[in-house]
Copies of this chain bind each other. A is one copy, B any other.
């Protein structure tokens, strides 16, 4: 495993010219409120952590992360930085095109934030790149696409933003940044509405039950994500 920005150009070149060039992983974070108890970088810390663990198991090349994402529902809380759809789209488009220019054959874009327009921006960029480069193998997912498979089993079916899962994971990854415990909150948004002020419906910034969280769960969850990613990339 390598971090892209720690390689010299020669090391990078050698690496990409191997018989089987590595999978390049592009981590995507977000700066977004996660309740009063979790840090603004919650959606960044999670993918960076699982990628680090994954890299201990497989030969992957980790590109520098994109720290900024698109956050509509939490935009009006303190600290959320939401960039425009087209900004995120163009940034990821440029990065993917450059990776392809340097010979990447398999790329995974892994996002900690799972908001739909955010994911749509990543996927539209990927779609445009792969259409121009049909041989490229390209995967775009949020690690929450993996984690939410567990909802309805060990976790409440609608556990979500800053809830049990997310709190548990950050308790395992960056416990010193968890400030107390959030309260259970299951907001009911008016159906299908596009809202100027969605924050009115969940003033705590929480969608789930962080009070049920603990670090042990978090360790298990993170392991589960790493296992699943390993399996996905092995099949790649």
Query: In the complex, what's the smallest C-beta–C-beta distance from A165 to chain B, in angstroms?
Result: 18
Q: Is A152 an interface residue (CB 8 A)?
A: no
Give the contact stretch, choosing among A51-59, A186-194, A213-221: A186-194
Take A64-B68, A98-B83 as given contacts and tell me if A232 and B41 are in contact as well, using a CB distance cutoff of 8 Å. no
Note all chain B residues with C-beta closer than 8 A to A235: 190
Are A40 and B83 within 8 A (Cβ)? no
Q: Interface extent on A, as a size class?
A: 35 or more
Q: Which residues of A contact B (CB under 8 A)?
A: 3-13, 16, 29, 31, 33-41, 44-45, 63-68, 72, 77-87, 89-91, 93-95, 98-99, 102, 116-117, 119-121, 123-124, 126-127, 130-131, 133-134, 136-141, 145, 174, 177, 179, 190-197, 205, 232, 235
Q: Count copies of this chain in the complex.
A: 6
Q: Say which residue of B40, B77, B94, B130 sits within 8 Å of A195 (CB atoms).
A: B130
Closest-by-CB residue of B relative to A17 is B78
A177 vs B7: C-alpha distance when bound (angstroms): 7
Are B31 and A9 within 8 A (Cβ)? no
Note all chain B residues with C-beta closer than 8 A to A177: 6, 8
Note all chain B residues with C-beta closer than 8 A to A82: 94, 98
Query: In the complex, what's the smallest C-beta–C-beta distance from A198 to chain B, in angstroms?
Result: 10
Name 20 A/B residue pairs within 8 A (Cβ), A-sorted: A6-B174, A7-B39, A8-B33, A8-B40, A9-B40, A9-B77, A16-B78, A31-B63, A65-B67, A68-B94, A81-B102, A83-B95, A84-B90, A116-B123, A117-B120, A130-B195, A134-B196, A136-B196, A141-B192, A190-B235
